[in-house]
Amino acid sequence: MCTAFVSIIIPTFNRCEFLRDTLKSVEKQIHTNWECIVVDDGSNDNTEKIVNVFSIKDTRFKFFRRPLYLNKGANSCRNYGYEKSLGEYINWFDDDDIMLPNFIKDKLDSIVNDKQNMIIASGYSANEYLKCKKEISIKESENSLYKNYVLEGVKILTPSVLFRKEFLDKHDLFLDVIKKGQEFELFSRLFFKIDKHEYKIIQSYGFLYRGHLQSTSSKAKFYRKDFQESSSYIVKGNLVRAINLNDSELIQSSYRMLLNLYRKALINEHNYNIIYIEKVFQLNLIKRKIIIMSCLKLIKFFRIQSFRWDKVLNKIRVH
């Protein structure tokens, strides 16, 4: 049985209606050697009072405010919480999700040596009221962890991964300029070229991931420029990694994503993203650069609608 000290880091902003239940679930952990660091992103509700109720009776709970010199957002809060952490292991968690009692214990119990830098576990997805639970299954693949995550879309979420802090100390953490896909960007970087012996996937379901249908559907109605710019940045990073690996499937997937982002940018007259993606395609990254540049001209000329675009996209071969 592993008795290591674990730092649980929770960024929060105006979620006091969920945060209390989240902290209660931390309190009920079977493994007791932990600290829970809550970093507030400038809430104007009862967040601080709620955390103080826990911290007064249990000093393992710690409350911090995001310093004003840091950019606003969950990424800055996650990184600041990391700076304050004292644990040998780190597990980021969200302020509306729920830990099951075995959440930490099962991960720690699966560690067999000091070369394992990540323990990846499963959980359940649920609705806003924590009903209609469905398993989030994470299975091993013949492909690398990186390819399994980026290409096959295995659902590794923020709570899924327990990190060895010594490993994280060697890497950049969350990028505070990213407004969407923060975890995907970080995990893509950390999973890239990681050796098999450095991580372990366990079949343990240790958390409830709370979905918010209203917020998801409302976001989907609008073209958010900051979200699209973040997506382009992330896809470019994965394109460069795919080329370094010389992996045709990953290269093809990244280029298709960028072309799709380019089409959306044209339709929505998003000049920043149009120029950014054109610059990516102008880089001498692939053998069939001329095909890509021809595609850009075609998209720009016809403004291809989605029902035609899917057919065109599937026929493009760049590697």
- Residue-wise pLDDT for 80-92, tens only, equals 999 999 999 999 9
Where does a domain end: 216, 241, 265? 216
pTM to 2 decimal places = 0.88
Same domain, 173 and 283: no
CA distance 290 to 124: 45
Local confidence band at 3 (pLDDT 50, 70, 90 cut-offs) = confident
Same domain, 234 and 264: yes
Sign of CA dihedral 48, 50, 56, 61: negative
**The residue count for the chain:** 319
pLDDT tens digits, one per residue of 270-319: 999 999 998 888 875 555 554 555 555 555 555 555 545 555 555 555 55
The burial class, CB within 10 Å (0-12 / 13-18 / 19+), for 139 is: exposed
CA distance 312 to 314: 6
Local confidence band at 132 (pLDDT 50, 70, 90 cut-offs) = confident
Same domain, 30 and 123: yes
Query: How many domains does the structure of the chain reveal?
Result: 2
* Confidence at residue 226, expressed as pLDDT on a 0 to 100 scale: 93
pLDDT tens digits, one per residue of 156-200: 999 999 999 999 999 999 999 899 999 999 999 999 988 999 999
* Confidence at residue 216, expressed as pLDDT on a 0 to 100 scale: 45
Same domain, 135 and 240: no
Domain housing 300: 222-315
Per cent of the chain over pLDDT 90 is 64
CATH number at residue 125: 3.90.550.10
Where does a domain end: 157, 192, 216? 216
Where does a domain end: 189, 216, 243? 216
Stronger pLDDT, 238 or 112, i.e. the higher one: 238
Same domain, 139 and 229: no
Closest CA to 8 of 18, 21, 20, 27: 27
